[in-house]
Amino acid sequence: MKKHRCGWCEGDDLYEAYHDNEWGVPVYDDDILFEFLILETFQAGLSWITVLRKRENFKKAFDNFNYKKIAKYNQNKIDELLQDAGIIRNKLKVNATVTNAQAFIKIQEEFGSFSKYIWGFIDGKPIKNSFKNLSDIPANTPLSDNISKDLKKRGFKFVGTTVIYAHMQATGMVNDHETGCFRYNEI
């Protein structure tokens, strides 16, 4: 019997694997939270599948998403990234990644971890929504508005409310699986 999945991922093996194994699963590990922050940053204005297909290239190009290394990137490294056809070569997004790595470290210093900071907005407990269809799922919420504003205040770039809501979905802060999806009650 075929498993029922959220409509947005059906028909593409990579999308389905991401949906089945990662999307909406609560993440408390700073390394993974940073990885998704980078990927969501590059996704802004593009489709998520475009970023997923380049994920391994991003991982290689950005030192396995090591924020401590990325925070120290100099102009030569940035120029090298802008020549890398395996990633999305957007100058503003590449520069934002370096800036965000630096701001990420500052949050860790202030809160002990980025996880404590970001999950603190919801007292560490995922929000379980009850959406039947993709069309019911919002692109942003008042909560993502607040997190976005706070991150911007702390120096982050490309962290608009839609990017932040996508990050919240990806990292399981919100369970936005459709109610008929087999993953809805598993998470």
Residues annotated as catalytic are 18, 40, 48
Three-state SS letters, 90-134: CHHHHHHHHHHHHHHHHHHHHHCCHHHHHHHHHCCCCEECCCCCH
Q: Does the annotation place 167 within a ligand binding site?
A: no
Q: Does the annotation place 4 within a ligand binding site?
A: no
Residue 174 parent element (H or E): strand 174-175
Q: Does the annotation place 9 within a ligand binding site?
A: no
- What is Dmax (Cα atoms) for the chain? 53
Token representation of residue 187: 């998470």
Q: Does the annotation place 181 within a ligand binding site?
A: yes
Strands 174-175 and 127-128: parallel
The CA distance from 64 to 83, in Å, is 18
Q: Residues forming the annotated binding site for Zn(2+)?
A: 6, 19, 177, 181
Residues making up the annotated binding site are 6, 19, 177, 181
